Structure 1
Amino acid sequence: MRVTTLTMMHMSVFLLLVSSASASHYYGGFLTFTPKGLNPDGSLTVEILYREAYRICFPYQTWYCYSGNCGITTRSVTGQIASYSGPSYSWCQLETILIKNVPTDSPFEMREASCCWIYAPNNNGQWNLFAHIDLGTRSDTRKPNSSPVTTIPPFIRVLQNCPQTINILAHDPDGDHVRCRYGTVQNMECGTCYNDPDFYLDENLCTLKYNKSNIIGPHIFELVLEDYPTRPITVSHMNGMSLTKYPFHTSSNGSSSPTTTAPDPLSKIPLQFVVVVDQASPSCTPGQYIPKFVFPTPGNGESLSAPVKKEMKFIINATAIYAMLSAIVITGPLNMTEYVTMHGHFAEAVIKWTPTDDDLGDNVPICFTAQSTFGTSTFESEMRCLTVIVVHSIGTGTASVFCTEGTMTVEVDKSSVPGLHEENLHLKDPLCTLTSNSTHVIGIMSLNSCGTEVEEDNTTITFKNEIISFESADGIIARTNDVRIGFSCNYPKRGQSYFEFTVHKIPFVFTEKGFGTFTYQFEIFHSSLFNSMVDPSTYPVEVNLGEMMYLQIVATAQLSNTILFVESCRATPSDNHNYPIFYSIIENGCIVDDTVVIYAGNQTVFRFGMEAFKFIGLHERVYITCSVILCEAGNHTRCSQGCVNGTATPAPHYRRRRAAITETSSHFISQGPLQLRRSSDSIGSSLTLNMNVVFIAGALLVALATVCGALMYRTKMSALKYQKLPSTEF
């Protein structure tokens, strides 16, 4: 009996500790729902997903049925999906998935409430989460409504002196219009129910705009997301009740019309989070102290398709030239894996997730931010979010792959993929389309083009790409089967061929409908005679400051009577044309650097020279990247337009002409690296360095680790993504 009493006392103490831990430890949460179909007995299955964040990883609370028939839970899964630990704030985010069997499609409501929020001014600590769910059948889709899809890192940072717009993820699987508003007391949608005057919530765009605040520290946000149809529809229920749902009309300034009563939404879901205002930053420019996302990071609002049982992967890259990258914070689904590496001023995260059969039809939200530090200060990037749409397993097809030291050729038997349409196919880089003959679809590309990814282990380097189908620009409907055909070439880590394609760039090969296969060869020469090319085995090319460099681009195409046009060239300290530090040489077909000399060539040969330089700071290497286009001669194309002054982009009609197959897409090609020759001669020649370059490059100080030898691919190739595979995958 004494043992039992002591055990009960210990449990009471534990529960008291848990209760104390939850006080002032809530960081926010949200709930979404997805109908999963009608059961044979007439009941419905619905998936309820909610994420909540606390200072300690513990599922403190559970949702309960507030009104209506919420059914019974047949399965429940809970797990940690994200966490953060810093000097002032720490949090852990949990995801719970409930599979419910609901006997009727009538509306029901769920609620969760407790205490307490983390400390913040104008916050009473209490929190409430409220969701309205209606599984009636819509007249437009003939299916039950799905709620808006959202997620958010529970803790977002802004800088006191830097205006920022937080784009709240508000994706709707049914194509409805989503509004974001503050919760109200009368609807039990919030605890504090405070409309923060330092932030402006655009309800119709779902953006939270910050300008300036005198309050340093946490600000609490308790929002509600509502979805409205874009035209009037009816929602019918099994009990014979039918409700008409109307669009939400707004006035010209974006507010609701004062002369009409706001219509009832299809659903209501909560979204609560914390925004912390940090001390002022020396600069508000992304990429300096504040991290900036760079290629190939997905853009905000993008949608990705993920077939069931097939691994989905994307890469996040971030940089800050004056601060050190310290974290990439990602909130995504259970069982998502993250491989995050920090390289001083640069960080990379490789995100992988494999959906299961249970995820079919789901729209899965993922959001991420990057953080950097300088001294005791922390800086956070913009928040980016994307939605992963889980689809049926897709066609695999039968592909034959032919590998050389410089190219991959893939041939797909048309008969192996019913309904295969060449015009709906491209490689990982959407600009790289394919050609075909009567029996096969064909793609030819170099190892450093068309979105090719590079992976390596201790003995092998692998180049991977995919043939992917695409649909119309509206992205709403599909009339062809999804296709995703992967192919790769494996090379042993030995021999001359490996050395050559890890340093010197081999010719860039592309395939496009209407142009077939064409090649760009970018080389460096010893003199203006262009009769002696720099030996590829001597790369990286050593130069003296101020010394003339001679570069040549040659285009070779299956079509005759073509013209090569060099649209732009820039120098970067990294082999990535989107790298934030660059020096322009040619822009929009116009010469920018005043040391550039154009030499005689022909329609498919472009030759130019310029004085060598380096980026001031710790950069030892320079890469030259150019954007090039191939056109048919005699047509009005971007090639015939020539130099476009200023930063103007080509007129829209060139895109329409592109459909007539008179010019290729713009492709990036690069060569390098060039590096400063370490000798007394190079020191003396530095006096001839173009002062314009010194001024511009001097303002872009940054340190970038340079990896040599067999790992040269860690400096990103143009349109090429690199990651080192964990040894556990082999």
Structure 2
Amino acid sequence: MVDRLTLVIVVQSLALLWIGPACEASSLGLTVHVVPLQSDGGQLVRAHFTVIASNPCPPLIGLCTEGVNCILHKAHSPVSGAKPGSGWCVRQWEQVVPSNYNSVITLNSGTTFYVAMKAGPHIRANSGKLNYPAYVALPPPIRARENCPLHIQLSVKDLDGDRVRCRFALEEQGECLDCMPHSFIELDKDTCGLTFTGNVPVGQYFIYLMAEDYIPTPKVSQASESQPLSSVPVHLSLTVEQSSSSCTDEPVATGKTPSEQATYNVLPFEEVKFEADFISQTESVSEIAVVGLPGLNKYGFTSIGAMSQLSMSWVRGENTLAPILPICFVANSMSLQSEPRCVWLYQREMRTLPDGTELICNKTEMTLVLPVGSLRNINLNELQLNSPACPVIYNDTHLTAHIALDGCGTKTVHAGTELVYTNTLKSVRPSSMISRQPSLILPLACRIPAVRARGPNFNIAVPATAFDNADVWLEFHLPGEGPLALYTSHPQFSPIGLLPGRLRRDAASVSHIRTSQGELGTRIKAMDLHLLSNTTLERSELSIERCVQSATHDFAERHTILENGCKASNVTQEIRATSHARIFRLDLFNLFTVHNMMYVECEVDLCIAFLPSQKCAIQCNRGSVKRATANMLSKHFTLRSGPVSLVVTTPVPSTIVFADGTGQTEAPTTAAVEVTSISSAPEQASFMAAGLIFNIICIFLQHIFNH
């Protein structure tokens, strides 16, 4: 009789065959980070899935019912990359599953993969606590060159301090499907290092590994290997391309780039920032591709000559993410890729403060009252805020600190939809002083939720630097193509009014126009104008003052498409997308009757209204123009396209020029797009925020000799 495991594998193999050939390229990468649930004794775990999927980016639909046991990280603009092939995006979710788990997971008809893990439960003899499986950082899709050997070092961590080893997944143990190891890939099990020999034809290959943790043992006793505490999957993709240069010409990390496996300790509501700098002597870097955690902010990409740079930041808000979080990045050029580099963010665990502790948040300051009796063996003379200029007062019973929101080293960060003021009370000792006395690190935070403010006149303070690194640009794509194809393939249209005094034109609806590209030289029926921003501020809006089109580059004769939130005629329809993107479908048959080329110029604003009840974007309502007059922070951009062909031509790579003058090569589109900024002078309201403010306060006691 066939045993149960064999039967499961057979059934799942048949299921994948039934789904079709798309399953052969299941995904471009996958990791699962596992956190055992203490309340269930580890029988259940919270599994954090990270998957790299090929474009078009698949939606997170049908994975599970959203709630406490399932969280889908639906980013407005998923983390993505342009190479290899047609590009890729990162999809992430977390789900409570059995500790020993296997399943065929389908994101859509083109992204299906098999996952198997053995995560316990296992009670550790040295601590009596549940074992945490190993964590493996997932790099962006790996690119190699034919006949060029390559070493790929995986970055691994283990919260219990266990020894981590990697091995190839075994199909006979139900760990993978159709996953025989490749002869051109060598694996160092002890270091989780992969070596590509280079002896393989051009193509795309998939590598299936299992990462396992072992209780540390002396080297002399490692001859007889013990059983692993857990096994978790790691899927990688390797794209082998033709070699056109030396095997040693890859971009190299330099400058302020963090060292490999650098670890940042992150307190609640603390912001972490770092840069990735690369130098590439042979080819200019076209992108710095990143695979990271939900909420990671990427901005300021520049590539000038041999130098390239990308900035990244993350704010630790309230989350259910794993305690340790990786970020991996590589520099890609046309035919080269740098060595992957990974850093880790450790969410420091905080202890609960005793009764009697208060953090009172007012309009201009936060006041801390802390019972002195709870600070055993803490030298109160060493306690200090971010700025030593603000005193910390204490007596025999209580410690008190008055912390200005615009001073004392208080920082302002955005965590989701909240504005958060943060400071830290901590022990500060001279660097030359060595002590075994405990030290104190006490993060303080006043949170202002935008949607839970008191009354309609509650004001939200926004830093004047909120849009310093923001860029806006425009792109043209055929319907159903481009980075937002998810919204344009099956569009949902938003109502938009006509300009005052304009007559309605009887134009055919552009919602049902064929989106496929015709023969060379034929007229394009419809095209989508994308206005995009890289800002991640949740409450920011993209407001369009005016868009005009012309048949000539000097705009000698121009015709209005959009003005003050209104459309000029029915040849334009708006497609619902994200808060940081505006998409308009243009009926080219009715917009142009003679010309085969057009140019477009748009004036847009990025803005945030200080009143949560108001919008700062220009609205068109019943033929009249309405603009928010409340105080707001804004930044103005003027965007002008290059020539946009209105007939089917052979697509060429387009260069998008951002407001700061930097360039970036994108996937093929119908036209080159140029963006210039003529004004970027944000204004800030002079008043402070007041309203419903929640208290978040935590403490962490540690001994100096533990560092």
Q: Looking at both structures, which has the greater relative contact order when contacts are Cα pairs under 8 Å and sequence separation is at least 6? A: 2
TM-score scaled by length of structure 2: 0.46
TM-score scaled by length of structure 1: 0.44
